[in-house]
Structure 1
Amino acid sequence: MSTLAVEKEVNPRFEDFLFDWEQKYQFLVGGYGSSKSYHIALKLILKLLEEKRTALIVREVYDTHRDSTYSLLEELVEDMGLSSKIKCMTSPMQIRFPNGSKIIFKGMDKPQKLKSINNISIIWIEECSEVKYAGFKELIGRLRHPTLKLHMILSTNPVGEENWTFKHFFKDERNKRLVLDDNELYEKKTIIVGDTYYHHSTADDNLFLPESYVAQLEEMKEYDPDLYRVARKGHFGVNGVKVLPQFKVESHDKVMAAIQDIRSPLKRVGMDFGFEHSYNAIVRLAVDHDKKILYIYWEYYKNQMTDDQTAEEIAEFKKTRELIRADSAEPKTIKYFQQKGFNMKGAKKFAGSRLAYTKKVKRFKQIICSDQCENTIYELKTLTYKKNKLDEIIYDEFTIDPHTLSAIWYALDDYEVSDLKAGAYISSSNAW
């Protein structure tokens, strides 16, 4: 036990966190300026003064430590009057304690250097959302010690719900896995679930922030709502501009009843081909032309399926003789299905067709999807546009490869949604 006595003023929101080492995992998420990194650094110093341990601090890129985690720890050591006892070394970056404890710094951009470290009992992953999920799992394997209790601290600003941090620590809709509703964390601020300690904080929890900084965060509400949600509120969500803001999910029975009420429903089937990393995606659609509503009521979604296996699984289409409009970039595959008795033809593709097809889908006043179409919901509910290096939207590229959207494109081949009057249904943020 160290005999060093140190004093440091801290934010009340973090007082309990500083000395809580009960759980193996500690996940800290919050807005800008909440002081979470500061208090994690302080927590590490206090722990390593008390017990002889080796702690590893990880960021995605090694060189970013110098001006962030290392600089923060060095500043804390000086502020606490411990620079004569705790040595901050720069080549390589390392912090050594009088009792033999040490902190080492690594980057996931140099994974080979992780293999040489041993007896790590504490790992802090700073900006963990930037680290790949495979890297996180690799680090769990590096956390080992013959006698000491093991701990992993993860800190991040919230990002999009598609990020692995949200799926692992909160919910993964595709795999129907729910650990914790993030809204519950925002409300309660601290929650323990199993062997994980959750902590949420915002700039309001940092009593040392100047009012001008908080005012800057508040201004984001007017010019960048997405950044305001992340920076000021510290909430996960959808980052970027949604491709289909009019997309919503209804119960299957309600969707089928609505289709039944359409005076002259236009029914279509579209198919996108895939195998290894992409998917065979088929959707059944119904269009209410008068009301400009698109209904999605059935899907097929699988990969790593050979054509003969897929043909067997979708054999019902041979009986119904429904026309399947498919990706014309795969004429050989289309020919195979035709020979097997399917009513299939290629949808038109041309230079600029991705943009034209996306515009067509966006013209619907509403897009209503059955809750049974889980993959369609997963891909389209939060689908956002990709941006270029200048932070400008690329209107025919998306943050994921949405196979169900491609299937919808093909299904609607040669159908035109009449243009809505300017601004009637499309907000300025989503205008073309």
Structure 2
Amino acid sequence: MIAVEKEVNPHFDDFLFDWSTKFQFLVGGYGSSKSYHVALKIILKLLEEKRTALIVREVYDTHRDSTFSLLEELVIDLGLEDHIKCITSPMQIRFPNGSKIIFKGMDKPAKLKSINNISIIWIEECSEVKYAGFKELLGRLRHPTLKLHMILSTNPVGEDNWSFKHFFRDDINKRLILDDAELYEKRTVVKNDTYYHHSTAEDNLFLPESYIAQLNELKEYDPDLYRIARKGHFGVNGIKVLPQFTVIPHKEVIEAIANINKPLMRAGMDFGFVDSYNALLRLAVDHEKKILYIYWEYYKNQMTDDQTAEELKEFAETKELIRADSAEPKTIKYFRNMGFNIVGAKKFKGSRLQYTKKVKRFKKIICSDQCTNTIYELKDLTYAIDKNGDIIEDEFKIDPHTLSAIWYGLDNYEVTDLKEKGQRERPSSRRPIRERR
């Protein structure tokens, strides 16, 4: 065993020598030194035990100026260049005891098939790797005798990224592994065979004050980047489409709707099958207060029209009007033949933008906590951006089927004026809201 001495940041002391868990997930802001300490941790482990470590990034060529360069710098800084050989072509690091580090990119997946006996994998900037790639790497992590470890490091990204869903919270599948707020408070947490570590620039004692001051300035002109770079927090990347969207308990939503003076009750439906969804929402509008309530949802795919009609037969029985996507006239005709009171909502050039602006005019959009798919799609819905970084007002980072259902449900209604372009609708307060499953 070669003895080494190295001054490290105190926040990483325990991490460097803790190999008790299979997974180690490090998230932090810019300049927190997480990558530096992961690299040092691997060097120390491979000096101690004969192992093969695999370091992965999404693109292979990015290793040269990042992970490989960092490890080479550490080897020299530790005075081990006579013992540890850093080979540039192909990139590889060899240790005197037979340990080695190899570098791969997920842009060349065929190269992964030739590697064996990998007992440590480090996925640097893991949020850039696709979820399918992460699962592929899990299959490559195997050794007949040694304990297996996977280290994942990243700057925080959006909560829609697979790394957040897998290691923290997946709202759509109702999985809570660890509340990220708990990690920000405690800084290190061990849960479900995963060691979590959070760090910021303040944890790096070797950073100049000018760098931290530069990060602090982001708060004034780029709050999204400030959250990522300075605070090291996951969150929503981009500009929210519906910042007035809030979630409250279902019972409170029903009580609030019951107190509306002449509520306008609507139902809107978007059609889907394979990758998209049949999304049907019941809405209530408080026109005087400019509040939109969402209190019931149906959200399924891989359903044939007859299966959907059977599950929604209460609409056929009550003749409750559904405004639906007029781009599916055959589907609308089928539902009509099955006894549904359903019409196609108007669609025209520019209607996506106009409908989105209409929804944004509500002072509040209040959603029942029972409408989980609506919450997932709309709570943190953000605009897509073009190549210049400008938002595209009628495109979003996901395809929000529930927003489309709202568009259609509000057809012929204007937030600023209750006058409708066709027949004026009677207030629906005469139809009581029932508790529906």
- Bin for the TM-score computed over the shorter chain: over 0.9
Q: Distance in 1 between matches of 2:115 and 2:365?
A: 53
Q: Who is 2:372 aligned against?
A: 374
Equivalenced residues, count: 417
- Residues in 2 aligned to 1:396 and 1:89: alpha-carbon distance in whole angstroms: 50
Deviations for 1:308-344, whole angstroms, at most 9, x for unmatched residues?
1001110000111111111111111111111111111
Q: Secondary structure at the match of 1:45?
A: helix
In the TM superposition, residue 294 of structure 1 has moved relative to its aligned partner by 0.3
* Counterpart among 347, 350, 358 of residue 349 in structure 1: 347
Structure 1 Cα separation of the partners of residues 340 and 75 of structure 2: 72
Task: Name the aligned partner's letter for residue 414 of structure 2.
Answer: E
Shift of 1:194: 2.4
1:109 aligns with 107
Q: Partner residue of 2:39?
A: 41
Q: CA deviation at 1:298?
A: 0.6
**How far apart, CA to CA, are the structure 1 residues paired with 2:151 and 2:286?**
52
Structure 1 residue matching 2:215: 3-state secondary structure? helix
Aligned counterpart in structure 2 of residue 330 of structure 1, from 328, 331, 352? 328
Match of 2:231 in 1: 233
Aligned to 1:260: 258
Partner residue in 2 for 1:291: 289
Instruction: Trace 1:76-95 onto structure 2 (pairs within 5 A).
Output: 76-95=74-93
What is the identity, as a one-letter code, of the residue corresponding to 1:398? F
Matched, 1:313 2:311: yes
1:427 alignment partner in structure 2? none
> For residue 411 of structure 1, what is the aligned residue in structure 2?
409
Residue 247 of structure 2 is aligned to residue 249 of structure 1: yes
Instruction: For residues 375-415 of structure 1, give each alpha carbon's deviation from its aligned partner in whole angstroms, at most 9, with x where no partner exists.
Output: 00110001011111111111111111100000000000110
Structure 1 residues 46-98: Cα deviation after superposition (integer angstroms, max 9, x where no partner): 11111110000001111111110001001111111111111111111111111
Q: Unmatched 5+ residue regions in structure 1?
A: 420-432
1:171 Cα deviation after fit: 1.1
2:94 paired residue among 80, 93, 96: 96
Write out per-residue CA displacement over residues 265-290 of structure 1, whole angstroms, 9 at most, x where no aligned residue: 11111000000010000000010111
Which amino acid is the alignment partner of residue 267 of structure 1? M
Is residue 216 from structure 1 mapped to residue 214 from structure 2 by the alignment? yes
The amino acid across from 2:215 in the alignment is L
Q: 1:15-26 alignment to 2 at 5 Å? A: 15-26=13-24
Match of 2:429 in 1: none
Shift of 1:7: 1.3
Whole-Å separation in 2 of the counterparts to 1:19 and 1:266: 62
Distance 1:392 1:65 in 2: 31
Aligned to 2:151: 153
3-state SS of paired residue (1:335) = helix
CA distance in 1, matches of 2:404, 2:343: 15
Of the three residues 131, 134, 139, the one matched with 2:132 is 134
Q: Does 1:70 align with 2:68?
A: yes
Query: Equivalents in 2 of 1:351, 1:62: separation in Å?
Result: 44
The residue type equivalent to 1:133 in the other structure is Y
TM-score norm. by structure 1 comes to 0.96
Q: Which residue of 1 aligns with 2:11?
A: 13
Structure-2 residue corresponding to 1:187: 185
Q: Deviations over 1:100-119 (max 9, x none)?
A: 11000001111111111000
- For 1:333, what is the secondary structure of its paired residue? helix
Alignment partners' CA distance in 1, 2:118 and 2:129: 19
Identical amino acids, percent of aligned pairs? 81
Amino acid at match of 2:264: L
SS at structure 1 position matched to 2:247: strand
Letter matched to residue 385 of structure 2: K
TM-score scaled by structure 2? 0.94
Question: Whole-Å Cα distance in 2 between the matches of residues 18 and 249 of structure 1?
Answer: 42
Give the Cα–Cα distance (whole angstroms) in 2 for the partners of residues 229 and 110 of structure 1: 33
Q: Secondary structure at the match of 1:275?
A: coil
Aligned to 1:387: 385
Superposed displacement of residue 35, structure 1: 0.1
Tell me how far apart the structure 1 counterparts of residues 358 and 110 of structure 2 sit (CA, whole Å): 48
| Corresponding letter in the other structure for 2:408 | Y
1:160 counterpart letter in structure 2 = G
Aligned partner letter, 1:292: K
Match of 2:142, SS state, is: coil
Tell me which stretches of 4 or more aligned residues in structure 1 moved more than 4 Å: none
Query: What's the secondary structure of 1:208's corresponding residue?
Result: coil
Query: 2:75 is aligned with what amino acid?
Result: V
Distance in 2 (CA, whole Å) between partners of 1:130 and 1:320 is 49
Mapping 1:357-372, distance limit 5 Å = 357-372=355-370
The 3-state SS of whatever aligns with 1:118 is coil
* Distance across 2 between alignment mates of 1:65 and 1:45: 16
| Secondary structure of the structure 2 residue equivalent to 1:245 | coil
Q: Secondary structure at the match of 2:11?
A: helix
269, 272, 287: which is aligned to 1:271? 269
- 1-structure distance, mates of 2:279, 2:243: 22
Letter aligned with residue 415 of structure 1: Y
Aligned-partner residue type, residue 23 of structure 2? Y
Write the distance in 1 (CA, Å) between the matches of 2:347 and 2:357: 15
Aligned residue type for 1:17: F
- SS, match of residue 159 in structure 2: coil
Q: Which residue matches 2:398?
A: 400
